[in-house]
Amino acid sequence: MEINVSQQLKAHIGYVREYDIEDYIDILGIGVDIQVEGKVKLTKTNRGLLVQGTLRAKIPVECSRCLKVFEFPLIIKLEEEYFPVIDVNSGTPLETPDEIGIFTIDEHHILDLNEAIRQNALLAVPMKPLCRADCAGLCQTCGKDLNKGQCDCEISDIDPRWAKLVNLASAGKKVKKHKKEME
Ligand SMILES: [Zn+2]
Ligand SMILES: [Zn+2]
């Protein structure tokens, strides 16, 4: 998504213009263009243009519990200042702030939103996505998707740290039973 902002750069500080965004962008950097929709607002600042907006995209992610791939509704928040590399009136080069990763408006007054969208999209991707809040996940023993029903290995599902206790408990029962028989 590229916007020619020569008019906004000539405008007074505080000048606002809004844009509807509907574009296909490879926001995950995996060679797949994903539809991105929303609104952005460009506000003239004393140094350049402030880009603010909220965009939506549906991205394919793997559920961290059941490993099913599902569409996650991503909300991408943008708030970035863009700095022009040349003065729009005189055409003379401008110093841009000496910071890593700043966004610039090129010498043709083109503001390219894609990189900002990509970076903020990656921040919005959840670390441990869930296909639904109560996803039951997979059985650790047989790998069955427990959302589709229980498997037959509940007993062996016991954490190995508890297994000893379980053995002791059942041994205890046997001892008691044995005692009763003795009486
Ligand atoms: Zn799941
Ligand atoms: Zn199982």
Pick the closest to residue 3 from 94, 102, 105, 73 (CA basis). 105
Structure tokens at 158: 């016991």
Pick the closest to residue 67 from 124, 136, 123, 151 (CA basis). 136
Q: Tell me, in angstroms, the distance from the centre of ligand 2 to residue 153's CA.
A: 4
The residues with which 101 forms a beta bridge, in sequence order, are: none
Q: Tell me, in angstroms, the distance from the centre of ligand 1 to residue 65's CA.
A: 5
Please write the tens of the pLDDT for every residue from 78-112.
Answer: 999 999 999 999 999 998 888 888 999 999 999 99
Please write the tens of the pLDDT for every residue from 63-80.
Answer: 999 999 999 999 999 999
Whether residue 141 contacts residue 153, with contact meaning beta carbons closer than 8 Å, is answered with yes
Structure tokens at 93: 């080069």
Distance CA 128, CA 69 (A): 13
Q: Tell me, in angstroms, the distance from the centre of ligand 2 to residue 34's CA.
A: 36
Please give the pLDDT value at position 173: 53
